[in-house]
Chain A
Amino acid sequence: MKKITYSLNYRKPKNSYNNDDELMVCLRSYQKLNNGKFRVVKKSTGIKCKLKDWDSDWHKSVARNPIKSTDENFLEKNRILKDKSIELHTKLTSLFLGNVKSDPKNKTTSPDSTKTKQNGRGFLLDSRVPPGPIDQKWVTHKNNIRLVSPSNKREIDIIVVGTGLAGGSAAATLAELGYNVKAFCFQDSPRRAHSIAAQGGINAAKNYQGDGDSVYRLFYDTVKGGDYRSREANVYRLAEVSANIIDQCVAQGVPFARDYGGLLDNRSFGGVLVSRTFYAKGQTGQQLLLGAYSAMNRQIGRGKIKMYNRHEMMDLVIVDGKARGIITRNLINGKIERHAAHAVVIASGGYGNLFYLSTNAMGSNVSASWKIHKKGAFFANPCFTQIHPTCIPVSGDHQSKLTLMSESLRNDGRIWVPKSKEDAEAIRKGHLRPIDIEEKDRDYYLERRYPAFGNLVPRDVASRAAKERCDEGYGVNKTGEAVFLDFTSAIIRYGKEKAHVKGLNENDKELVSKLGKQVIKAKYGNLFQMYEKIVDQNPYETPMMIYPAVHYTMGGVWVDYNLMTTIPGCFAIGEANFSDHGANRLGASALMQGLADGYFVLPYTIGDYLADDIRTGKISTESPEFEKAENSVKEQIDNLIMNSGTKTVDYFHKKLGKIIWNKCGMSRNEKELKEAIKQVQLLRKEFYQEVFVPGNAESFNEPLAKALRVADFLELGELFAKDALEREESCGGHFREESQTPEGEALRDDKNFSFVSAWEFKGNPAKAKLHKEKLNYENVELKTRSYK
């Protein structure tokens, strides 16, 4: 189905007309509503056309027009038709998305509306997923969306905020297509974006191993892994373009691991049944990012990308309802700058730093996403956060950042805590060593609770189980928040195998242990070394200590199938948007999504929007909208600098992190979520009264940059808790204590919560208004995950 079609206005049966009769051309727009019905708008165009000049097959190619060249004025007539259709398209878009309230026609009540008491409005968000079978959607969509000609692309500017995998690849591709790109990052070089820290790998449905992998299987695994809270069509598209990513990256010179035959190697990841993960040792993210960075470099060298390093986006500028530019702050000299463009792409990553301690980089922040949210973009599923089970535990109050240990360690390590609290206490105090605890006194709780998957249960399950044990008082480090990850049995197993192969004595304990350690070293040497550097313990001799930490945020800015937010002209890609991972992300899928969005999705879909802008001309930065935005940014900065408080920014950030981690962390309940909302509100108030920002606004001032970011986290924190409160089910990373099985497992509620929560900003987070996008699963069956 096309959004908008042309037709002739027949007033009597078709066959009663002859070829020379003139008929009026009409525009029809079909809008699929969530109850499955269509809304049709029909509009006359004032253009007449003879029956013989009518090209009824005009929709078969983008190059064809409805009126054939046999008509004298076909050029003029077609141009008018096109303009009218664009006009109608824009009008409908803004009617349907921007002003939901003011449009009386939208009172269509969905059959499910009774269940959404607080917002009687029902499911209103339109994801604009194209119709048709799932494996045809993207192809058909690409064939039908509007394009911008090369000569017009030269006249169009695009702003990209963030230069990680998504932003970097998008900037490079858009520039290569011919658009003028301005790219912004807060780091001193695009190469330092936090995508660089991804370790494991990138999934792609290449089926090089011939183990039965396919696009459908990758799609299915991702939807299931996301606990059925992601948008089917987006995930399928992601799986579809995944294979292209690998081709692209190899062509760019990304040195993926290869086998001795010279072909690409794969590893298996995160409990999936096939080997589809491509990797470059433990530095896949780095290599992929450097690939995207090199593609950017090529375009920077050609002058198609203008790069702004050490610039932070401070606000979005909306002119006539469309995103037309941003306000930035130069982090070196504090200058506030205006940048205009025809479209703005947000690729600023996730908001894990809301928790203060996370595996995110110190500078990772929500500000760009939050600023567009405040200007009208809906924020989807903020409470969906991934907590990774294998991180190095917190060692003290000075801790600034957590370090991830690759998930692959769970393949060989066994997780345990002592069976008795006395032993745990003795270990915490240093009176006992872990190796002093006898086998029978150890509680391998994952193996006990989940005999089928054991230590290899998904991330969310493993994390919750660790927290449960530590909360009960079985934690094993000074802070009581750590469990053991023990490689002893793996060392013995491998050692015996090795001894057997070499024909040596399998009962010689020392020999077996030595051989086993060699095998473990070959597999995880760099991780063990990293652990030793940080903790100063030798993990070959004593078990590692691990604890869960915040790692990734599945939630983000709401986008439609074209990756456009609810602000026309403002797009969100990569971790910044919400679309592909549902309530839980599978390992090695984040890199895939970032690159898919940047290289292969956005560059096509943005054209559909920009086709309207070919005659707009340069956007001026002198408009009152820019003036206003700049002034409000300056005012916010001045307020922070002038504030005569006594507490540092980190004081507030740490406090916020503690509230969110303790009350909205791995398990959540109504009482604590309500408390969290209150506490965040109070903390925010205190922040504006008590915060002290040293220095001035016109210089390199890191505390100021931090204060501006923390101010946004303080608002997001409240929405985060509110969203978690609203979602009275457990799914993926979101565990509500009220919604669990008698055995304490997560209980999903598909009947009532099979939707995306998209929040509209209404002045402050407390007033945020919930919109829902219903999730329909036509190609996978909803099942309960079980790992017992």
Chain B
Amino acid sequence: MQLKLKIWRQKNGKSKGKFETYYLNDVSPDMSFLEMMDVLNENLMLKGIDPIAFDHDCREGICGSCSMFINGEAHGPDRLVTTCQLHMRKFKDGDTIYVEPFRAKPFPVIKDLVVDRSSFDRIQHAGGFISVNTSGNTQDANATPIEKEDADNAFDAATCIGCGACVATCKNASAMLFVSAKVSQYSLLPQGKVEATNRVLNMVKQMDEEGFGNCTNTGACEVECPKGISLENIARMNREYLLANLKG
């Protein structure tokens, strides 16, 4: 099939950036979106044009590197997939496809479609862990039974891949789904309860300092999340945060 691609080009973080139009023929519907981008890049390079920079690594939907805003949606029109798992059969011959980077103040553009998501890392540094030494001198893994439901919920929250689609798609560029997934995972497990109060306070503080927007419960993040992280996590974090403040 033939495609008209309107892709955001930006030399570096300081330059202004604009859309460029490219045409691509002979796109196979079996290609993944990123493979289509590979073909485009090969063509551009042979013509002496700087290839389009984009983040990608595992190409099986788990590393969370890929981050494209395709035709107005984070990771494109398919649900529960990342950009790398999106296939061209979701598009029609002759389609015009707009590709933009994930946009948010705390995700500054590095080049073209590559953004800097280190703000997510910094939020995790602030408290995304359980303070246990890695000495191996811990108690036996089965010493504390954990209710299956709690373990399963913790797991569901823990499947977040940190891609930033929630921020990209939220009309407020809020990072609540990401942060709450981490807070929830730990607060649901007995091991993580001990320092739950400090964790939620520190992580929320860091999140605010990074300049993310406020949650207005539109629920877009849950829909666009490639891992289907639930809004319940946000409610849990709100609750924990407010209670933590009451405790002082």
Report A's interface with B, CB cutoff 8 A: 169, 172-173, 176, 187-194, 196-197, 206, 208, 241, 244-264, 280-281, 283, 286-287, 290, 293-295, 297-298, 300-301, 307, 309, 332, 359, 361-363, 395-396, 398-401, 403-404, 530, 533-534, 536, 599-600, 646, 648, 650, 692, 694-695, 699-700, 702-703
Contacts and interface: CB of A to CB of B under 8 A. Distances in A.
Nearest to B42: A648
23 contacts: A176-B133, A188-B55, A247-B139, A247-B140, A248-B132, A248-B134, A251-B132, A255-B185, A259-B148, A261-B145, A294-B129, A295-B129, A301-B127, A359-B60, A361-B57, A398-B31, A398-B35, A398-B36, A398-B39, A403-B60, A533-B81, A533-B85, A700-B53
B145 A298 contact: no
Interface in B128-169: 128-136, 138-142, 145-148, 151-152, 154-155, 158-159, 161-162
A197 B63 contact: yes
B105 interface: no
Nearest to B49: A694
A192 B154 CA distance: 20
Contacts of A534: 32, 85, 87
Contacts of B31: 396, 398
A398 B124 contact: no
B59 A361 contact: yes
Given A194-B58, A197-B60, A264-B142, A283 B159 contact: yes
Nearest to B57: A361
A251 B138 contact: yes
B118 to A, nearest CB: 7
Interface stretch (B69-77, B109-117, B208-216, B229-237): B109-117
Contacts of A191: 64, 121, 162
B20 interface: no
Contacts of B152: 255, 258
> Which of B49, B124, B128, B162 gathers most chain A CB within 10 Å?
B124
Contact of A398 (B38, B58, B116, B131): B38
A255 B190 CA distance: 11
Nearest to A186: B57
Given A297-B128, A648-B42, A703-B45, A241 B59 contact: no
A699 B134 contact: no
Contacts of B56: 362
Interface in B14-32: 28-32
Contacts of B200: none
B88 to A, nearest CB: 10
Contact of A176 (B32, B34, B134): B134
A252 B138 CA distance: 10
B35 A255 contact: no
A703 B51 contact: yes
Contacts of B89: 536
B138 to A, nearest CB: 4
A246 B141 CA distance: 6
Contacts of B114: 700
Given A258-B146, A260-B148, 10 more contacts: A250-B191, A256-B141, A287-B155, A297-B128, A298-B129, A362-B56, A362-B58, A648-B45, A694-B45, A703-B51
Contacts of A703: 45, 51
B98 interface: no
A303 B123 CA distance: 15
B62 A286 contact: yes
B50 interface: yes
A431 B60 CA distance: 31
B45 A194 contact: no
Given A208-B142, A248-B138, A648-B42, A253 B130 contact: yes
B189 interface: yes
Given A259-B148, A694-B50, A192 B63 contact: yes
B239 interface: no
Interface in B176-211: 185-186, 189, 191-192
Contact of A251 (B61, B87, B116, B130): B130
A169 B134 contact: yes
A218 to B, nearest CB: 16
Contact of B57 (A256, A363, A694): A363
B12 interface: yes
Given A208-B142, A395-B30, A189 B118 contact: yes
B65 to A, nearest CB: 5
Interface of B: 11-12, 28-32, 34-36, 38-39, 42, 45-46, 48-51, 53, 55-65, 78, 81, 85, 87, 89, 110-111, 114, 116-118, 120-121, 124-136, 138-142, 145-148, 151-152, 154-155, 158-159, 161-162, 185-186, 189, 191-192
Given A187-B65, A262-B146, A332-B110, A301 B126 contact: yes
A244 B136 contact: yes
Contact of A399 (B35, B55, B78): B35
A650 B141 contact: no
A247 B63 contact: no
B45 A294 contact: no
Contact of A187 (B36, B63, B145, B147): B63
A294 B128 contact: yes
B87 A255 contact: no
B57 A600 contact: no
A280 B117 CA distance: 26
B62 A283 contact: yes
A782 B199 CA distance: 53
B129 A297 contact: yes
Contact of A255 (B49, B140, B158): B158
A459 to B, nearest CB: 19
A257 B129 contact: no
A601 to B, nearest CB: 11
A208 B118 CA distance: 40
Contacts of A260: 148
Nearest to A598: B134
Nearest to A300: B125
A367 to B, nearest CB: 15
Contacts of B155: 255, 257, 280-281, 287
A490 to B, nearest CB: 25
B55 to A, nearest CB: 6
A262 B148 contact: yes
A535 to B, nearest CB: 8
- Would you list the 4 A-B pairs with minimal beta carbon distance, nearest first? A262-B145, A294-B129, A244-B136, A255-B155
A206 B62 contact: no
A332 B11 CA distance: 12
A575 to B, nearest CB: 15
Contacts of B116: 188
A172 B133 CA distance: 9
B230 to A, nearest CB: 15
A249 B138 CA distance: 9
A253 B60 contact: no
A536 B60 contact: no
Nearest to A309: B118
> Which of B129, B161, B186 gathers most chain A CB within 10 Å?
B129
B111 to A, nearest CB: 4
Nearest to A599: B134
B30 A396 contact: yes
A188 B136 contact: no
Contact of B51 (A257, A363, A599, A702): A702
Contacts of B60: 197, 359, 401, 403-404
> Which of A193, A251, A361 gathers most chain B CB within 10 Å?
A251
Contacts of B138: 247-248, 250-251
A263 B30 CA distance: 43
A332 B53 CA distance: 11
Given A188-B118, A197-B60, A600 B136 contact: yes
Contact of A253 (B65, B117, B147, B186): B186
A144 to B, nearest CB: 19
A263 B46 CA distance: 58
Contact of B159 (A286, A297, A298, A362): A286
A599 B134 CA distance: 7
